[in-house]
Structure 1
Amino acid sequence: MTEQSFRNPRNGMNIGYVSRGEGQLVVFVHGFPDTYRGFLPVLDLVAGAGYRAVAMALRGYAPSDLARDGDYRVEASAQDVIDLADGLGAEQFSVVGHDWGAVTGYAAANLAPQRVRRLITAAVPHTGHFLLSMGPRQIKRSLYMLGFQVPVLPEAKIVNNDFAWLESLIHGWSPAWRFGEKEMRPLKQNYLEPGRLKAALSWYRQLPRSIASPLSRRLIFSAVSVPTRIIYGVQDGCIGPEMFAGQEKRFSNGLDLVPLSDAGHFMQWEQPEKFAQLVIDFLEPPAGKS
């Protein structure tokens, strides 16, 4: 699958992506510690249903550029999605986001609600709900985020012993997923490139900066007006299933909540066919179909 690149005229940054199919645009946005490659099996299935399915790499992840201005706030990733849609000639489009891609999806829907047709997120509830509703169990699960705030040491810990800590993290988040070197190789290759691992952790490190920014704060905490489906794994060791309850008021145009009893955090890797069908079922029918 050939990687492509869009040079953003607004800031000169290159946004890397892969594209499959033709039709209404659907932008897939990955999270940590994944890369856009986690969506590739899903991409082909969605494209086969009559859509142009595009998986982009978040800024900082290969093959996208590192942020030249060092900006990894929520508003930056949301704007990148809008800019990529502009570059692909799509006035309206849908977004599918996992993990940080879900955070980006909520923000993009709030940044340009008139342009986002449908929003489908995976593994993360509404960002504002998540930040304001963490109880003791979720705080314990999220301690890794606090650990990432320390400079330098997390980078060394992650790459040590051929990424053993990262493999342990993934296993804890998706206990039933039997991943191997095939799945880990793209992650390792990305994080071994200079600056990539620091960039990935910068999304966490700049969350306080995001909350301090009036625009990012609005994108994080405002209710989403785009029709939304949230898919979550009941076995997720990163964000507990209890975190997905009680967020309906944060979706003014409806929330469709889909639990997967036999999936963990990386459901698109674990069950690509089921995940793709859940995406397709929620999207508007392609032109000429009903």
Structure 2
Amino acid sequence: MSALRRIALSTGVSLDVAVEGDPGAPAILFLHGFPESHRTWRHQIAALSADHYCVAPDQRGYAGSSKPEAVADYGIDRLVADVVALADALGIGRFTLAAHDWGGAVGWATALRHPDRVERLVIANAPHPLLFQRALIDDPAQRAASQYIRAFRDPGIEARVAEMGLDGFFDRSFAPHVDPARVTAADRADYLAEWGQPGALTGMLNWYRAAPIVVPAMDEVLARPAWVDAAFPALEMPVLVVWGMRDRALLAAQLDGLDAVVRDLTVARIDAGHFVPWEAPDAVTGVMREWFGRGQRSVRAE
């Protein structure tokens, strides 16, 4: 990919942004999750920029982008506002939004709040907010798999990472969740360089701290929030959900019930782990291309 652009947004932050393709072509905005960067979607950008305008920011708190200090600066309202402000800054009206992991949380929220801007939504291993909160209450397996969120919210985690070093953090917290054959020495160096930017570790962790999702302890009996069982707005635009079925943090049961909150749903189940955009890049790109072309609900990559 070409060099990153630095783009100042009306939300008060400046983001490093990968931009590829013809600005006159249909736009795709790509959002990464933890603990990554625009590089999450590098394979899809390389393939799809031939006929799409591809825009992939390092979101606030990550890599070289702005890193506000307050936890509140990472609330979902601010993150959604960044997406719309980035589209505005580049003169993009309606766009396809493709989003992974925490970027997917922003993707769901942006589609719900700005259906006038999000023409299509592609979600990769990112649970729907309603279904995820229900699972954290009702599903012991998902609750157990999500206990790391509680650890990442701990105010002492930065000190523990400093003690083990970023190399140790890579080996203990990240490496167990990825396909080692897909992570080169250059990839590792890129991760460590991004995480080592001043304020980056706290910025990335503040996404967890600011999120409203409640993650009960394993033995905790949680008072059930009323909104979990109330009516929830369904998305009307076409939605493609791509899921790496070997994800150990976000279990495949998160696919259950999506048809109740998405009117026009396509689900692609892929033999990969959590980081499916680069663990199975050809499969993900192929599914996206087929879906773009057909607009049908039966696309699958098993």
Measured against the shorter chain, the TM-score band is 0.7 to 0.9
| Displacement of 1:11 | 3.1
3-state SS of the aligned residue for 2:120? strand
Paired position in structure 2 for 1:107: 109
Contact 2:11 2:85 in 1 (8 A): no
Task: Report how far residue 178 of structure 1 moved.
Answer: 4.0
Q: Any conservation in 2 of the 1:30–1:97 contact (CA below 8 Å)? A: yes
Between 1:201-210 and 1:84-93, the stretch displaced more is 201-210
- What do the CA deviations read for 1:163-212 (whole angstroms, capped 9, x no partner)? 333334334333565423222222211111111100100000111389xx
Q: 1:162 and 1:238 mapped to 2: Cα distance? A: 21
Q: In the alignment, which residue of structure 2 is the partner of 1:214?
A: none
Q: Does 1:183 align with 2:183?
A: no
CA offset at residue 12 of structure 1?
Answer: 3.0
**Corresponding residue number in structure 2 for 1:247:** 258
- Please tell me whether residue 276 in structure 1 is matched to residue 278 in structure 2: no
Contact 1:28 1:53 (8 Å CA) reproduced? yes
**Number of the residue aligned with 2:18:** 18
Query: In 2, are the aligned partners of 1:171 and 1:177 still within 8 Å (CA)?
Result: no
> Are the counterparts in 2 of residues 21 and 52 from structure 1 also a CA contact under 8 Å?
yes
2:45 paired residue number: 43
Structure 2 counterpart of 1:53: 54
Deviation at 1:132, TM superposition (A): 1.4
- After superposition, the C-alpha distances for 1:51-84 in whole angstroms (9 at most, x for unaligned) are 0011111111123211366510112111111111
Q: Deviations over 1:220-260 (max 9, x none)?
A: x6432321111111111111112211221111x31111111
Could you tell me how far apart the structure 1 residues matched to 2:208 and 2:126 are?
14
Aligned residues: CA RMSD: 2.3
The aligned counterpart of 1:133 is 135
Specify the SS of the correspondent of 2:243. strand
Please tell me the residue identity of whatever aligns with 2:151: G
2:246–2:273 contact (8 Å) kept in structure 1: yes
- Higher mean C-alpha deviation, range 10-19 or range 199-208: 10-19
Give the Cα–Cα distance (whole angstroms) in 2 for the partners of residues 164 and 69 of structure 1.
Answer: 26
Q: Identity of paired residues, percent?
A: 26
Moved more, 93-102 or 158-167: 158-167
Number of equivalenced pairs: 273
| Native 8 Å contact 1:147 1:154 kept in 2 | no
The alpha-carbon distance between structure 1 residues 166 and 276, as it changes in their structure 2 partners (threshold 3 A), is same
CA distance in 2, matches of 1:203, 1:282: 30
Distance 1:113 1:78, change over 3 A: same
Corresponding residue for residue 274 of structure 2: 265
| Separation of aligned partners in 1, 2:46 and 2:31 | 15
Please list the CA deviations of residues 79-111 of structure 1 after superposition, one character each: whole Å capped at 9, or x if unmatched.
111111111111111100000111111111112
**Residue equivalent to 2:205:** 201
- 1:288 matched residue in structure 2: none
Structure 2 runs not aligned, ≥5 long: 215-227, 295-302
Alignment of 1:30 with 2:21, yes or no, is no
Alignment check: 8 A CA contact 1:13 1:68 kept: no
